[in-house]
Amino acid sequence: MIDGMDISRVELITFDCYGTLIDWETGMLRALRLLFPDHPHVSDEQFLAMYGEIEAQLEAGPYLSYRTVLSRTAQEMGRRLGASLSPEDYQQFAESLKQWPPFPDTVESLQALARHYRLGIISNTDDDLFAASHQLLKAPFAMIVTAQQVKSYKPSLNNFQEAMRRAGVPRENILHAAQSLYHDIAPANTLGLKNVWVNRRFGKQGPGATVSSDVKPMLEVRSLAELAAVLIPVAKINLAANSRE
């Protein structure tokens, strides 16, 4: 038991990708600064908040590919900022996602966790965009559920229900790990999925490029390395107990 959550039966860890495994704020801000070089007065937090608001509005409407969501978000940001940019500029921003980097602890932590658990992805993205990120993550994912596959975006329960259908294990044997309270922790709570908030923005003000939420996670860590440090000893204890049976 950790903070009242029984993790001894966890077999599958599903992850959000962008913001949890991929440092999307660093990658996003780098691309936005290139897109809007004449706006140095706009702070990083202002850029992120504007992005998060517009993206959430687009994702709440009729399904659009994530590449289109990225492009239209950048286009609306340009309109609000009074920037004159071309469709090619907005498309370039969308394609930049393929180069957004993993957090420094992501690859090593995923590889360590993969030695003890099955890993999965539930991500608001397109298949080909995630494929590029997957190469950077260098981790074996047994299951990948994208918004493109289910034609909806988290926090829709549809994305999580599809993941549970594919999981091959009972709901109580799944743990979902994510940075966004709004997109991930809230629906996980609704469905009774074990969950952990990977608080990548610890010490920063505001929700960054996501929507604000006051939902409570079952467990909070500040990095993937911390999550691995919590989970791997439990897996080793279970392995030792099973080997004695």
Which residues are identified as catalytic? Answer: 16
Write phi, then psi, for 118 (nearest 5 degrees). Answer: -80, 145
Report the distance separating Cα 205 and Cα 215, nearest Å.
17
Task: Output the DSSP codes for 126-138.
Answer: -HHHHHHHHHHHT
Sheet containing 194-198: order of strands: 143-146, 118-123, 12-15, 174-178, 194-198, 220-221
Closest CA to 209 of 15, 13, 20, 14: 20
> Based on C-alpha coordinates, what's the Rg of the chain?
18
